[in-house]
Structures are given as C-alpha cells and as structure tokens.
Amino acid sequence: MEKENLTFCSSTVILFSMEELEKQSLETEKQQFELKNTFNNTSKTSKSRHDFLLLLCLLFIFVVIIAFLIGRYSTSTQSHVQTKNTISPTSQGTIVLTPRKQDDLFITDKTLIAKTLNLPPLYSPLRWTEVAEQSFDDGISVVRDYDKDITIPFKMGKYYKASSQSNTDNVGQYYQESLSKKDWVTSNNVSSLHLKNMELSPIIASGVCGGIRSFLGYKNGMVRLVAIKYNVVPCNLLDKSPNKNVTQEYTLFVSDSVSIAPYIKN
C-alpha cells in the first residue's frame, strides 16, 4: 500500500513539474515573440527615419546643384555683355563718352543715343489744333539718307496746326533747346543719325517766307521724328518793313516711336 502511495506521489510530482515546464516554455515563447515584435517595430522605425534623412540629403543636394547652375548661367550671361563707348554731345556742344551694349544690332561708335524719346509739351504760347493726317502732303514727316539718295517716311504720328501774328514766336528754337537736352539729332550738335549701313538726316530748310526744322531721336532700336514747318502769310519779298502785318502759320508733326529694323534691312 505504501508502495502504491509512493508511486502516486511521484507521478503527481512529475505531472506538476511537466506542467510548470510547459508553462515556463509558453511564457518564454511569449516573451521571445514580444521581443521579436519589439525588435521589428524598432527596425521599422529606424528604417523609416533613415529613409527620411536620406530623402532630406538628396533634396539638399538637388537644391545646391540647381543654385550652382543658376549662378553659373548668370555669371556666363554677364560675361558676354561687353560695353563700348558712344559719342554723345551735350546741350552745350561738349562731346562725352557714354557706355552702350556691344550687342546692339543697329548702332556704331558715332551713333547719338537719346536719353529718352519722350517729348516736351506743345509750345504753350500758341494754341495748337490736332488735324487729320490726310489733309497734309507737305513732306515734313520724312528723313533723308543723302548718301543713298533715299527718303524714309514716318507714316504713324500726329499733325498739329497753329498760327500767330507775332514775329517773336520761335517754335523751332523751343524744340531745339528741349530736344538737345535729351540728346536728339538736331542742327546745332549732330546733323545726322549714324547707324549701320545708314545715315539719317532730319530735314532742315529755311527761306524768307518759311522753312522746316526737324529733330530725330534714337534709343534702343527705336526712332522718333519731330518736324515743324512754318510759313509767312502773305509772303511779299519786296516788303522789308519790320512792322509788316503778316501771319506765321505752323504745322507740327510728331511721329510715333517706330523700330529702325525695317529700314536697316532695306
């Protein structure tokens, strides 16, 4: 009987030990599984962070390359812009040198470049009236190339008319002084606009009973013409009296700014 009891107790102890071992084994597997998950999660987090840092590095390198290329292109562009000297008379007749871009297609070293093509106000002592272009056929809206014996018309612009009974009105002198300050081609400083393959001269003519004064401006491939025609009415060549009763009739033409390119090509 004692032997059976001993055997039963031994069996019971063995079973209990096996259950404990199995529990410990399960617990160990569970811990290993959790540790593995933790390791995997850590690895994923580390990989994501590594990928993010790599992306930032690539983006930074890309920005640096783009900035380098832009800077190099800008430097290359500036290095190709060379300057040359242009002769520019001042309103006092003094010759000064002003820089210009060498890549201008139309000008030479003798080209007078205007400071601006903007015009002064109309001569205020007279009352000017704008009139239709079709009513004029007097040839004042032209310039000449005397070397080639050609006349170049300015087809776009405005005509104005005014009259005066005074001999003191000097419209031509007003535009002469105003446009000389802007470095336009006028009769008192430079008589012609020197361009490549061309030399354009404003019309200048004078007589007892009338005349024409013209002024030509050039800037950035554009030209503009101002011309004044004046007539003395009535025109009596035999009347030398300083107080004779006459009327000064003025016609003013102001062209639009137009490209010189078509004239150079022709």
The pTM score is: 0.58
Looking at residue 82, what is its pLDDT?
A: 40
Edge-to-edge order in the sheet of strand 150-153: 150-153, 142-145, 198-202, 193-195
Burial group, residue 180, by CB count within 10 angstroms (0-12, 13-18, 19+):
buried
Q: What is the DSSP letter of 242?
A: T
DSSP 97-140: EEEEETT-SSB-TT----S----PPP-TTS--EEE-GGG--SS-
Contact status, residue 218 vs residue 113, Cβ threshold 8 Å: yes
The confidence score (pLDDT) of residue 162 equals 93
Q: Which pLDDT does position 95 carry in this prediction?
A: 41
Residue 215: CB atoms within 10 A of its CB come to: 24
Residues in the chain: 266
Helix, strand, or coil (residue 91) = coil
User: Taking the mean position of all CA atoms in its chain, how far away is CA 256?
Assistant: 19
* 184 CB burial (10 A radius; 0-12, 13-18, 19+): buried
87 in Cβ contact with 112 (< 8 Å):
yes
Q: How far is CA 49 from CA 52, 59, 204, in A?
A: 5, 15, 83
**pLDDT attached to residue 54:** 83
pLDDT (tens place) for every residue of the chain, 266 residues total: 555 554 544 555 455 556 666 666 667 666 666 666 665 555 556 667 777 888 888 888 988 888 888 877 665 555 444 434 444 444 444 444 444 454 367 888 888 989 999 999 999 999 999 987 665 656 789 998 888 888 888 988 999 999 988 766 688 889 999 999 999 998 566 788 988 888 999 988 888 788 899 999 999 989 999 999 988 888 876 666 655 678 889 999 999 999 888 877 65
